[in-house]
Amino acid sequence: FFLCDQRTASQNQMAVVLGISSGPHDSGACLLRGGALLCAVNEERMTRKKMDGRFPIASITFCLESEGLRAEDVDVVAHGWAFGTDGATVAQVASRVAEVEGLAVVSLMEQLAACNEVDADVSRRVKKGLSALGIPPAKLRSFDHHLCHAAAALYFSPFCLSDAPSSPPICVTLDGRGDFMSGKVVEFTRGEDPELRVLDATTMFDSLGFLWAFVTALLGFKPFRHEGKVLGLSASGSAEQTLPIFRKTMCLSEVEGRWRVRTSWGQRGQSFQLYLTGLEARNQGVTPDSFDLGQELKTFARQDVAAGLQAFSEWLVTEYLTRNGFVREHLCLAGGVFANVRINMRVRSLPGVRQAFVYPNMGDGGLCVGAAALAAREFDLRITAPRGIVFL
């Protein structure tokens, strides 16, 4: 976490924005005043519980106390999760469901129901936590999950904090899911009133992050935590025989250029819970379909499975960016998938990319900063860079 010099913030009559991230995992808080980022910390640093996803009471307390503020001094609380209320999101999810038929429709609806249940619990925890602090619900503003990822990366990138770039920088976000999406491409437009414009989005049904979680569990690690171990394991393996298997899981749409889950692996009733628990279909009492990823991979060494997943992911991300014209001179990357340094390196080496900036907390722990920045922009505040010491 870091604590910035108080001299960087304006003193009086400046909007105080408390940003929070409080999702299923990796919660935290930050504080902006007058558009200046003063303080940010993740709950795990306070509680010593890895990727603590509880309401970030300790983080909020730390941020307020470090600036000599009280809960009543907060003008707005910005949360990095909108719970899928955006009209464009609803329309795209409905369109994706309409593309499939039969049992696949049931599967997607079950995934939506499961996500709604998790999100409703998060919403209740946030409101209860704020109430305990004495912050009224009227001060709460919720922002789109992936827009928060993008805002954190773009607003605090060297490309947007200066007037140097000649072309508009864009941010690519990729993760498991958030507000029913697993990724977005967002462009930063310059001018007197800079704004973020969504160029493309990928639904949670076609999540590369969930594929990583599934394989992480399949290899005996903890999903949504140990994907880095799978990345490390891939260095000692060969993708020669396993890459063709992973190519069966997803493809790029010839018409739209978006990637799609191409097999029943991601379109059956077991799929969402399968990702979360790492259980194979037969362990959930579901009759395996013609393609069972776990079965196809079980005869291969773990390092070869990891190598195949890594090679496939690098190809999928770079091909998606290239085919859709999302390769720009200045690229920002955010979301849990971009904790993968090999994918980042491949993106950075694409012809046409001059500089790439990966937001330091690319996972959900960084959502609080993005949400706070979006709220500050509603006050017409200019976002300014933090200064001070960074503790790693």
pTM above 0.95, yes or no: no
Please indicate, yes or no, whether residues 316 and 205 belong to a single structural domain of this protein. yes
Q: What percent of the chain has pLDDT over 70?
A: 79
Please indicate, yes or no, whether residues 39 and 109 belong to a single structural domain of this protein. no
- Tell which wins on pLDDT, 7 or 176: 176
pLDDT computed for residue 75 by the predictor: 95
Q: What is the CATH number of the domain that holds 372?
A: 3.30.420.40
Please indicate, yes or no, whether residues 323 and 182 belong to a single structural domain of this protein. yes
For residue 329, being part of any structural domain is answered with: yes
User: How far is 213 from 158, CA to CA, in rounded Å?
Assistant: 31
Please indicate, yes or no, whether residues 158 and 261 belong to a single structural domain of this protein. no
Please indicate, yes or no, whether residues 308 and 372 belong to a single structural domain of this protein. no
pLDDT computed for residue 153 by the predictor: 95
Please indicate, yes or no, whether residues 79 and 182 belong to a single structural domain of this protein. no
Please indicate, yes or no, whether residues 214 and 290 belong to a single structural domain of this protein. yes
Most confident of 5-19, 25-39, 115-129, 155-169: 25-39
Rounded mean pLDDT, 79-103 = 70
DSSP E strands, the chain: 2-4, 16-21, 28-33, 36-42, 76-79, 140-142, 170-178, 181-189, 195-203, 250-252, 259-261, 330-334, 355-358, 388-390
- Tell which wins on pLDDT, 1 or 19: 19
Q: How many domains does the chain have?
A: 2
The pLDDT tens digits of the residues spanning 279-319 come to 333 333 333 344 678 888 989 999 999 999 999 999 999 99
pLDDT computed for residue 158 by the predictor: 85
What is the gyration radius of the CA atoms in the chain, in angstroms? 21
Please indicate, yes or no, whether residues 298 and 343 belong to a single structural domain of this protein. yes
For 249, the domain range is: 87-113+177-358
For residue 389, being part of any structural domain is answered with: no
User: How far is 35 from 374, CA to CA, in rounded Å?
Assistant: 10
Please indicate, yes or no, whether residues 136 and 255 belong to a single structural domain of this protein. no
Tokens of 361: 């907390």
Q: Specify which residues 153 forms β-bridges with.
A: none
Please indicate, yes or no, whether residues 127 and 249 belong to a single structural domain of this protein. no
Q: Is residue 306 a contact partner of residue 220, using CB atoms and an 8 Å limit? A: no
The pLDDT tens digits of the residues spanning 30-70 come to 999 988 999 999 999 999 999 999 999 999 999 999 999 99
Tokens of 54: 């509880």
Rounded mean pLDDT, 79-102 = 71
Please indicate, yes or no, whether residues 121 and 256 belong to a single structural domain of this protein. no
User: How far is 156 from 303, CA to CA, in rounded Å?
Assistant: 37
For residue 340, being part of any structural domain is answered with: yes
Please indicate, yes or no, whether residues 300 and 333 belong to a single structural domain of this protein. yes
- DSSP three-state, residue 177: strand
For residue 187, being part of any structural domain is answered with: yes
Cα–Cα separations (whole angstroms), residue 96 to 103, 135, 238, 334: 14, 38, 34, 24
Indicate whether 105 pLDDT > 70. no
Q: What dihedral angle (degrees, nearest 10) is formed by the CA atoms of 88, 93, 99, 103?
A: -170
For residue 390, being part of any structural domain is answered with: no
For residue 170, being part of any structural domain is answered with: no
For residue 385, being part of any structural domain is answered with: no
Checking DSSP bridges between strand 2-4 and strand 36-42, what pairing results, if any? Answer: antiparallel
User: How far is 174 from 183, CA to CA, in rounded Å?
Assistant: 4
The pLDDT tens digits of the residues spanning 145-179 come to 999 999 999 999 888 766 655 678 999 999 998 88
The pLDDT tens digits of the residues spanning 327-380 come to 999 999 999 999 999 999 999 999 999 999 999 999 999 999 999 999 998 887
Class of residue 32 by CB neighbours under 10 A (exposed 0-12, middle 13-18, buried 19+): buried
Q: Cβ contacts of residue 247 below 8 Å, gap of 6+? A: 312
Length of the chain: 392
pLDDT computed for residue 66 by the predictor: 94
How far is C-alpha 246 from the geometric centre of its chain's CA atoms? 22
